Amino acid sequence: MRGSPLALRLLEGACAALVALGVVYAAILLLAADPDALLITYKRGGLTPLIIFFAGSCAG
């Protein structure tokens, strides 16, 4: 049972790192992309998998 708290801490750290990388990636995407092209891609649903991935990471 001693390994369980360690495993939970490692999982929490991995999730935090994933969310942090997601935030950095989103910031770079917003800064580097053409705003009009990004809006068109969003309206066509091209960013939906990315949004679902980040929302799931944050919820986890």
Split at pLDDT 50, 70, 90, the class of 45 is: confident
| Spans of all domains in the chain | 3-59
Predicted confidence at residue 16, as pLDDT, reads 81
Q: What is the pLDDT of residue 47?
A: 72
Q: How far apart are CA 58 and CA 16, in angstroms?
A: 8
Which pLDDT band holds residue 32 (cuts at 50, 70, 90)?
Answer: confident
